[in-house]
Amino acid sequence: GTNNYNLGQDYGKQIAEILQEKEVGEEDTIHVLVLMDEDRVDTSQNLILLGLRENVKKLLGDDRVIVDTELIDNAGSFRSEESIRDIFLNWNELPDIMVCLNEINTRCAFQAAVDYNKVGKVQILGYYDSDAILDAVAKEIVYATFAPDTEQIGKDCVLALDEYVKTGYTNGYMAVDTALIKSGEAVKRLDEK
């Protein structure tokens, strides 16, 4: 699987990049909202959040970035869509940057941005590389998305099986890199399909 702390660091780096591109003033406060899965009981989301917060602090060196979380109910088929829609409709002020930690929240967030005419008003950092997400990145509805390196996953699986056959055991965990996909890369990947 992916190294969640490193993934959080990568999200933090992208947040710093967004702020540099937008030329945010020194006195401006930036609100980042991380959409977390309410039903996940493991620590992976917390590790992502820790890495994100630490890297934002390291790269920007000040307290102008406020990182909040929102628990998203992914239990039912439309629950996450409703939860994210409520953010767009009921919050007095939308976050400047919305970080999505899974494919479903990414799709729901960019669809809500389109539906409520908020594209560009909120920058979305997503997760996964489905065709719909790649299309949203290509159209710059989503600023960027991270995706696990599936080719590396396949190679590591073969190496682990080979090691198991030879030695009778193998490591239970192998870290997999993630790829950052921005507009140009998304167009390229869609053209290759």
Of 152, 154, 167, 145, nearest to 98 (Cα)? 145
Which regions of 93-166 does DSSP assign to beta strands (E)?
Answer: 97-100, 123-127, 144-148
The model scores a pTM over 0.85: yes
Percent of the chain that is helix, strand, coil (3-state, to 5): 50, 20, 30
Mean pLDDT of the region 163-181: 85
In this structure, what token pair is assigned to residue 40?
A: 């996940």
Mean pLDDT of the region 60-82: 85
24-47 pLDDT, tens digit per residue, is 666 678 899 999 998 877 788 999
CA of residue 130 relative to chain centroid, distance: 13
| Residue 133 and residue 104 in contact, taking contact as beta carbons nearer than 8 Å | no
